[in-house]
Structure 1
Amino acid sequence: MFNFDWKRLGVAAGLSLTLIAAGCGSSEEEAESGAKEEKSASEEMNYEITGIEAGAGVVKAAQKAVEEYDSLAGWEVSTSSSGAMATALGEAVENEEPIVVTGWTPHWKFAKYDLKYLEDPNGVFGGEEQIKTMVRKGLEEDKPNAYQILDQFQWTADDMQSVMLDINEGMSEEEAAKKWIENNQDKVDEWTKGTDKVEGTEVELVFVNWDSEIASTNVVAQVLMQQGFDVTITPLDNGPMWQSVAEGEVAGMVAAWLPGTHGDLYEQHKENLVDLGANLEGAKIGLVVPKYMEADSIEDLNPAE
């Protein structure tokens, strides 16, 4: 009654098995591809953390992280400058490419881009930091009004970031500082409270050439100028900055990140300078990535193969 075409049935069965096998193979390939894609961000970055100046505390911490985290095995910390780091970050964000940078707050990049700190389970980068004011010994006796203004200087991360962002968007450092002072005269009045104006008393402040310290030092300098001081501000590397204050060559600085970033330099020079305390609370350092990256922790990165 039934007339089977066994040859045709065999071909159909073979074709079905081929399709099933192809489907399985496709799933396996997709799984393998997915695994590769998870690693592709680290591979695309050439297992490199984009750093700032060699010797900076956040760079030293990043180098320590490379040694301590298995996920960073084979990685390198590339050092350059804070400006070069910011440029590389901006280019990566514009093209939605992966990047890991040595970061800190306050910084204008957090106001301009959607960024996040990678979690640091091992605590390599430490907790919150303070930015402190350090002056030379004898400043209180020699220039009491300058000493008091520096002692009373205190502001917030939002204050600092607003000045940094104006500078980044093209305003000169002096103009940005003057703009902030004009809009925050109540805070400035607290810094100058109880002081007298002077006529041409010379004051030199030093700072490390980071966007945050450019902002704070220019603001303080403008306030001192308004009080009649003849102010010079000088950018230096981290070591010479601390040394110049400790040796009494300059009046002081408002750029001391503690306890982590400048901790070793503070220990080296603390007996030869005066610590006026924090001018900003809640600073932080760590590894920073754009929010579009899937990694949320340093441990989510992949070691070099």
Structure 2
Amino acid sequence: MLNKSAKTLMVMALAGVLALTGCSAQKTDASDFVGDQVKYEIVGIDPGAGLMQSTAAALKEYDLSEWKLIEGSGAAMAAALDKAYKNKQPIIVTGWTPHWKFAKYDLKYLEDPKGVYGGDEQIHTIVRNGLKQDQPSAYSFLDKFEWTPDDMAKVMVDIQDGKKPEEAAAAWIADNGAKVDEWVKDIAKADGQKLKLAYVAWDSEIASTNVVKNVLETKLGYKVEMLQVEAGPMWAGIANGDADAIVAAWLPTTHKDYYAKYKGKFEDMGPNLNGTKIGLVVPTYMNINSIEDLKKK
């Protein structure tokens, strides 16, 4: 039988071994290559998005042939990010700014030293040819429409917190009366004419299109139909006249192929928002900083 002192020493020694083992295991987990941690998967959005094309190009440019870009939707990407973040698990997603996720989570863009994703982007307003002649009031408002990433983020966060998109848009308009009044100043009211706004189901474009729809209806007297489509049909709709306008053209990178394909079949009214960005996004608790860190040494 061991005496009390001997037992105490053995317990202390065992505790020390377990503590060292635990520290060693944690260190090993933290040092695992990021590809192994996330199964070499990048969580993407809808396959027609320019962001997905840019990400596919990035995988080639950085020689990341073992990585797989998972197609899905903006909602599916957000759900995967939320689940991983709550459990402090590693995840890599395709991301863009403005987006509510940057207000909700502590995230960072991976550096892109080769510049595959380009620099900061703008969101442009694009209208069909002939809109100025057919609907001069709508044209004048769309030409004046411009807001900031913070404006857009407020609408997006309200939607994410449970408000319907039309309710969030109305609340923002009520809180920003002076800015809205400038958009519609000296513009004649319409008399129930119909307009079609096309958009992709990104949180940013849901926010902006609902705001524009509300202003056109409540301030200028239009009847507006919103057409939710993928990026390709959105641009095609403007080019062939099936839609009147979009406030969702990400340029010069994300939608550059569509811009080139349909050039001459639409009118570019310039940016309605400056300071956007696209790229690969991770939680800040992940110990990687660059796309180059995805390459196994």
Q: Which residue identity lines up with residue 189 of structure 1 in the other structure?
A: D
Distance 2:155 2:144 in 1: 19
1:231 aligns with 2:211: no
Q: Which residue of 1 aligns with 2:9?
A: none
Give, in angstroms, the shift of residue 301 of structure 1: 2.4
Q: Which residue of 2 aligns with 1:76?
A: 68
Distance 1:261 1:254 in 2: 14
Distance 2:65 2:194 in 1: 51
Q: Which residue of 1 aligns with 2:286?
A: 293
Give, in angstroms, the shift of residue 50 of structure 1: 0.2
Q: Which residue identity lines up with residue 293 of structure 1 in the other structure?
A: M
Q: Which residue of 1 aligns with 2:7?
A: none
Match of 1:141 among 124, 133, 137: 133
Q: Which residue of 2 aligns with 1:3?
A: none
8 Å CA contact 1:39, 1:302 repeated in 2: no
1:43 aligns with 2:36: yes
Q: Which residue of 2 aligns with 1:23?
A: none
1:241 aligns with 2:246: no
Q: Which residue identity lines up with residue 135 of structure 2 in the other structure?
A: K
Match of 2:53 among 60, 73, 90: 60
Q: Which residue identity lines up with residue 182 of structure 1 in the other structure?
A: A
Give, in angstroms, the shift of residue 191 of structure 1: 1.0
Distance 1:289 1:87 in 2: 14
1:98 aligns with 2:113: no
Q: Which residue identity lines up with residue 54 of structure 1 in the other structure?
A: P
Match of 1:197 among 176, 189, 196: 189
Give, in angstroms, the shift of residue 132 of structure 1: 0.1
Give, in angstroms, the shift of residue 250 of structure 1: 1.5
**How many residues end up aligned between the 2 structures?**
277
Distance 1:57 1:35 in 2: 37
1:262 aligns with 2:262: no
TM-score by length of 2: 0.89
Distance 1:108 1:259 in 2: 22
Distance 2:125 2:225 in 1: 17
Segments of structure 2 that go 5 or more residues without pairing to the other structure are 1-19
Secondary structure at the aligned position of 1:270 is classed as coil
Q: Which residue identity lines up with residue 262 of structure 1 in the other structure?
A: H
Structure 1 residue ranges, 4+ long, deviating more than 2 angstroms after superposition: 32-42
Q: Which residue identity lines up with residue 114 of structure 1 in the other structure?
A: D
Q: Deviations over 1:188-243 (max 9, x none)?
A: 11111120112211011000110000000000000000121001111110000000
Q: Which residue of 2 aligns with 1:110?
A: 102
Secondary structure at the aligned position of 2:34 is classed as helix
Give, in angstroms, the shift of residue 302 of structure 1: 4.2
Q: Which residue of 2 aligns with 1:123?
A: 115
Give, in angstroms, the shift of residue 143 of structure 1: 0.5
Q: Which residue identity lines up with residue 231 of structure 2 in the other structure?
A: N
Q: Which residue identity lines up with residue 245 of structure 1 in the other structure?
A: I
Q: Which residue of 1 aligns with 2:10?
A: none
Q: Deviations over 1:141-195 (max 9, x none)?
A: 1110000111110000000011001001110011000000000011111111120
Distance 1:126 1:78 in 2: 22
Q: Deviations over 1:37-78 (max 9, x none)?
A: 4234321210000000002111111111111214x3400100
Give, in angstroms, the shift of residue 249 of structure 1: 1.4
Secondary structure at the aligned position of 1:53 is classed as coil
Match of 1:175 among 156, 167, 171: 167
Rg (Cα) greater in structure: 1
Give, in angstroms, the shift of residue 298 of structure 1: 1.0
Give, in angstroms, the shift of residue 248 of structure 1: 1.1
Distance 2:68 2:28 in 1: 23
Cα RMSD, aligned residues only:
2.0
Distance 1:136 1:129 in 2: 22
Distance 1:157 1:129 in 2: 12
